[in-house]
Homo-oligomer: A and B are copies of this chain.
Amino acid sequence: MPTDTEYLGYAAGVLTTFAFLPQAYRMIRTRQARDISLTWVTAMTAGVFLWLCYGILKQSIPIMAANGITFLLLLIILVIKIRYRAHSDSGRHQ
């Protein structure tokens, strides 16, 4: 049976994974990505992919699941950031 500490880890994982759902949804809806740093999205996508590999090597289902879902959501955010970059970078500020 998982300990209280493990439950805390699961709660943390659920929060930091599903947090990306409203962020991806917002960007799909508004098609705006100006306030998102491209360095952040790129580094996060690469980092979460490494966490996914780490989870596979460690055979840890929670690490695989959390980072697999986050990786897909970050790919959506990355595509929108690149696609709407030119659009987002013009005309919204003086």
Residues of A with Cβ closer than 8 Å to B? 5, 8-9, 11-16, 18-20, 22-23, 25-27, 30, 32-37, 39-40, 42-44, 46-48, 50-51, 53-54, 57-58, 88, 92-93
The reply to whether A37 and B26 contact each other, CB–CB distance below 8 Å, is yes
What are 16 A-B contacts defined by CB distance under 8 Å?
A8-B57, A11-B47, A12-B47, A15-B46, A15-B47, A16-B43, A16-B44, A16-B47, A16-B48, A19-B42, A19-B47, A22-B37, A22-B40, A23-B40, A26-B35, A26-B40
**Chain B residue at minimum C-beta to C-beta distance from A19:** B43
The reply to whether B23 and A36 contact each other, CB–CB distance below 8 Å, is yes
The reply to whether A18 and B43 contact each other, CB–CB distance below 8 Å, is yes
